[in-house]
Amino acid sequence: MTRAASAGLVGLAAAALLGSAWLLAVPGPARAADAPGSAAVLFREADLALGDKLVREHKCSECHARKFGGDGAAIYRPQGRVNTPAALRGMVEQCNLELNLAFFPDEVTSIAAVLNRDHYRFK
Ligand code: HEC
């Protein structure tokens, strides 16, 4: 076997290994979750601990509960107007502005990610 041929074989083997590793890392159906605008992409940088803390500190649920009863969670309706991850983030931004909460963009993202994790469950 020539040097070139064996280098070629090694290259092929490496490509095959990389190929299967890639398949393992990104199984077919789950790839849709990596699409632009998906929760996986939009909330990639989210700090869930921070989001949790901000939701508690700003009494989001208390006000929602006054309007919707129970623990207020009924206000979060994935089938309603807020039907995409981006719309969810936009709604949190809107509350941010209306209630003068002065959240930073990364805080808005983190809050939206927590609401998504607990209520909306967008992929
Ligand atoms: C002063 C009361 C009040 C506070 C405080 C409040 N909200 Fe809301 N929120 C509302 C009301 C009222 C609606 C319903 C608006 C509508 O449906 O038109 C709403 C709707 C929402 C929705 C959309 C629900 C859906 O699926 O349609 C989100 C998301 C939301 N609020 C997030 C938050 C977050 C996060 C906080 C805390 C940082 C917060 N809100 C604090 C009153 C409040």
pTM exceeds cut of 0.75: yes
Q: Rounded distance, CA 23 to CA 34, Å?
A: 14
Instruction: Find the domain containing 75 and state its range.
Output: 3-120
Q: Rounded distance, CA 3 to CA 40, Å?
A: 45
Say yes or no: CB of residue 50 within 6 Å of ligand 1.
Answer: no
pLDDT of residue 36: 87
C-alpha Rg value of the chain to the nearest Å: 22
| Among 48, 53, 54, 63, residue to substitute to test ligand 1 (most atoms within 8 Å of Cβ) | 63
Confidence bin at 5 (pLDDT 50/70/90) = low
| pLDDT tens, position by position, 9-40 | 454 444 444 444 444 444 445 556 688 899 99
Q: Are 123 and 78 in contact (CB under 8 A)?
A: no
Ligand 1 mean position, distance from CA 8 (Å):
60
Number of domains present in the structure of the chain: 1
Q: Are 47 and 112 in contact (CB under 8 A)?
A: no
Say yes or no: CB of residue 108 within 6 Å of ligand 1.
Answer: no
